[in-house]
């Protein structure tokens, strides 16, 4: 996560499932550098979020030309951006890290779930196994290998990787600042408290953020996950996913 008084960026690196990536640096390195370049590119309000993301992707790719950037498993990430400028809020969402607006007429969730529409049989196979088992690990590797083949293609789904073109496939929009009380930019490791676990409403999420900030909300997620450590009640890729949230208020 990175932020400034007018900009919030949440990146969530994609799991490699222990498979080769073709990159000697790894996902944390990629996410760190992409976040830095994004903050720099979007400091100018005249630069669109898509163009800023495309520029950042190209700059990070140029940092490690010695790596196999054509490897389908090369490090990549989901992206969620919210920027305030000239009385409006611009957003961009690429993959399943959402931006949630608390507006005058209720909550608006912007998220890109195209990944859920691909390879349903392999996804179901992963969910048939409890986490921390050999069967789960092998099923997850089969799924990730298959996802890599359709990642950043018109027949699959889009994430931030090495190709700047993927920036043009994000969900973008603009909201009047006066119509929003606050907003939250988060990884899906947080949003699943509502969307997958069903253990909170968006009202309760924002009440928790208001009372105790991001730390208290993430603690609530961890408590729910700890009650089902092997994914028996809520089948999932791993027991606890990366959880990041930025609360934006004006």
Give residue 169's Cα distance to chain centre.
Answer: 14
Q: What is the DSSP letter of 203?
A: H
Q: What does 121-159 look like in DSSP terms, one character per residue?
A: HHHHHHHTS-TTSHHHHHHHHHHHHHHHHHBTSTTSB--
Residue 166: CATH number of its domain: 3.60.40.10
Cα–Cα distance between 40 and 177 in angstroms, integer?
23
Cα–Cα distance between 171 and 51 in angstroms, integer?
13
Q: The sheet that has 7-13: what strands, in order across it? A: 2-4, 7-13, 77-85, 88-94, 171-176
Q: Domain count of the chain?
A: 1
Encoded tokens for 122: 């392999």
Per-residue pLDDT of the chain (250 residues; tens, 9 = 90+): 999 999 999 999 999 989 999 999 999 999 999 999 999 999 999 999 999 999 999 999 999 999 999 999 999 999 999 999 999 999 999 999 999 999 998 999 999 999 999 999 999 999 999 999 999 999 999 999 999 999 999 999 999 999 999 999 999 999 999 999 999 999 999 999 999 999 999 999 999 999 999 999 999 999 999 999 999 999 998 898 899 999 999 8
The domain of 157 spans 2-249
| pLDDT for the residue 232 | 94
């Amino acid at each position: 996560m990175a932020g400034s008084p007018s900009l919030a960026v949440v990146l969530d690196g994609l799991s490699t499932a222990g498979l080769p990536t073709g990159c000697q640096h790894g996902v944390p390195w990629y996410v760190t550098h992409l976040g830095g370049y994004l903050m720099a590119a979007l400091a100018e309000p005249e630069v669109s979020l898509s163009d800023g993301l495309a520029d950042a992707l190209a700059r990070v790719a140029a940092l490690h030309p010695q790596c196999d950037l054509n490897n389908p498993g090369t490090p990549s990430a989901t992206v969620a951006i919210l920027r305030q400028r000239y009385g409006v809020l611009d957003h961009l969402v690429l993959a399943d890290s959402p931006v949630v607006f608390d507006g005058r007429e209720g909550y608006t969730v912007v998220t890109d779930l195209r990944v859920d529409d691909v390879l349903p049989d392999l996804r179901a196979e992963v969910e048939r196994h409890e986490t921390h088992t050999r069967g789960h690990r092998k099923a997850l590797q089969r799924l990730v290998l298959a996802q890599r083949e359709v990642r950043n293609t018109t027949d699959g789904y889009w994430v931030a990787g090495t190709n700047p073109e993927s920036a043009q496939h994000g969900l973008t929009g603009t909201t009047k600042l006066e119509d929003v009380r606050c907003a939250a930019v988060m990884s899906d490791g947080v949003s699943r408290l509502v969307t997958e676990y069903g253990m909170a409403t968006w009202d309760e999420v924002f009440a928790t953020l208001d009372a105790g900030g991001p730390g208290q909300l993430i603690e609530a997620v961890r408590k729910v996950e700890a009650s089902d450590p092997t994914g028996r009640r809520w089948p999932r890729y791993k027991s606890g996913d990366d959880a990041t949230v930025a609360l934006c208020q004006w």
